[in-house]
Amino acid sequence: MASTNEERVIASVTETDCCIVGGGPAGVVLAYLLARKGIRVTLLELHMDFDRDFRGDTAHPSTLEIMDQLGLAERLHELRHTKIRQFNLQVGDDEPLTIDLSFLKTKFPYIMMVPQVHFLDFITEEAKKFPSFSLVLGANVQELIRVDGAVRGVLYRGHEDNEWHEVRAQLTVGADGRSSRVRRLAETEMVKTSPPMDVLWFRLPRRAGDPEGLAGRIRNGHILVMLDRLEEWQIAFVILKGTYHQLREAGIEQLKRLVVETDPTLQDRIDHLEDWKQVAILSVESSRVKQWYQPGLLLIGDAAHVMSPVGGVGINYAIQDAVVAANVLTAPLKAGRVQTSDLKRVQHLRTLPTRFIQAFQAVVQKRILGNALTNKQFKLPFFMRLPLLRRIPARLIAFGLWRVRVEDQK
Residues 260 and 139 grouped into a single domain: no
**What pLDDT score was predicted for residue 1?**
41
Please report whether residue 309 resides in a domain. yes
Residues 249 and 363 grouped into a single domain: no
Residues 153 and 72 grouped into a single domain: yes
**What pLDDT score was predicted for residue 319?**
98
Tell me how many degrees the CA angle 387-390-392 measures, rounded to the nearest 5: 130
Sign of CA dihedral 197, 203, 204, 209: positive
Please report whether residue 321 resides in a domain. yes
User: Is 401 a residue whose pLDDT tops 80?
Assistant: yes
Residues 155 and 264 grouped into a single domain: no
Secondary structure (3-state) at 166? strand
**What pLDDT score was predicted for residue 4?**
43
328-381 pLDDT, tens digit each = 999 999 999 999 999 999 999 999 999 999 999 988 888 888 889 988 888 887
Q: Is 296 left (phi over 0), alpha (psi -120 to 50) or beta?
A: left
Domain that includes residue 187, residue range? 5-80+112-192+285-371
User: Is 53 a residue whose pLDDT tops 80?
Assistant: no
Domain stops at, among 283, 318, 353: 283
Residues 164 and 206 grouped into a single domain: no
Whole-number percent of the chain with pLDDT over 90? 74
State the first-to-last Cα distance of the chain, in angstroms, to the nearest integer. Answer: 34
**What pLDDT score was predicted for residue 54?**
60
Classify strands 82-84 and 150-158 as parallel, antiparallel or unpaired: unpaired
User: CB-based contacts of 128: which residues, under 8 Å, 6+ apart?
Assistant: 135
Residues 128 and 184 grouped into a single domain: yes
Task: Give the Cα separation of 303 and 318 in Å (integer).
Answer: 9
174-218 pLDDT, tens digit each = 999 999 999 999 999 888 876 778 999 999 999 988 888 889 999
User: Mean pLDDT, the chain, as a whole number?
Assistant: 92
Please report whether residue 106 resides in a domain. no
User: Is 102 a residue whose pLDDT tops 70?
Assistant: yes
Residues 30 and 134 grouped into a single domain: yes
380-394 pLDDT, tens digit each = 877 777 777 788 889
251-298 pLDDT, tens digit each = 999 999 999 999 999 999 999 999 999 999 998 888 999 999 999 999
Q: What is the DSSP letter of 24?
A: S
**What pLDDT score was predicted for residue 55?**
72
Number of domains in the chain: 2
CATH number for the domain that contains residue 227: 3.30.70
Whole-number percent of the chain with pLDDT over 70? 97
Residues 159 and 211 grouped into a single domain: no
